């Protein structure tokens, strides 16, 4: 009975710490303007061996900051839990007034895996 309580407490502690760990998943977030109407966004993250990133979804532009969401999709019904580094590089349409991007990476179920903000560099 006591071991069940410890197992339950360990599970709760793991679940409660997961959101904090998820925010640290993206690495090297960069945004570069390649012409007056396009920006290339690049980053890496540690993800599952059976997932890939779908096309970026451009959201609202507020005070020069453009919201961009990258959805992930599962590529297999059954997959090992192997963690691999996934590199993302996508070019999006973005007006010349965009000076920052606010990037969100979502799991297939819509939950946020990671997020970050960066200035747009000029090539």
**In a domain? residue 116:** yes
Q: Specify the number of domains making up the chain.
A: 1
**In a domain? residue 112:** yes
| Alpha-carbon gap, residue 88 to 101, rounded angstroms | 15
**In a domain? residue 4:** no
**In a domain? residue 10:** no
pTM: 0.77
Tens digits of residue pLDDT in 78-106: 888 789 999 999 999 999 999 999 999 99
**In a domain? residue 19:** no
**In a domain? residue 14:** no
| Alpha-carbon gap, residue 68 to 53, rounded angstroms | 13
| Alpha-carbon gap, residue 19 to 107, rounded angstroms | 13
| Alpha-carbon gap, residue 11 to 61, rounded angstroms | 39
Tens digits of residue pLDDT in 41-57: 999 999 999 999 999 99
**In a domain? residue 11:** no
14 pLDDT more than 80: no
Contacts of 119 (CB under 8 A, 6+ apart): 31, 99, 100
Element (H, E) at 22: helix 2-22
């Amino acid at each position: 009975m006591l071991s069940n309580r410890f197992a339950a407490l360990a599970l709760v502690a793991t679940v409660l710490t997961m959101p904090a760990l998820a925010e640290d998943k993206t690495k090297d977030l960069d945004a570069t303007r390649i012409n007056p109407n396009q920006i290339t966004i690049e980053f890496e993250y540690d993800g599952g061996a059976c997932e890939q990133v779908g096309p970026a979804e451009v959201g609202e532009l507020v005070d020069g900051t453009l919201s961009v969401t990258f959805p992930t999709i599962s590529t297999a019904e059954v997959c090992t839990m192997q963690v691999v580094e996934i590199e993302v590089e996508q070019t999006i349409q973005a007006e010349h007034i965009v000076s920052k991007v606010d990037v969100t990476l979502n799991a297939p179920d819509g939950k946020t895996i990671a997020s970050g903000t960066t200035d747009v560099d000029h090539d």
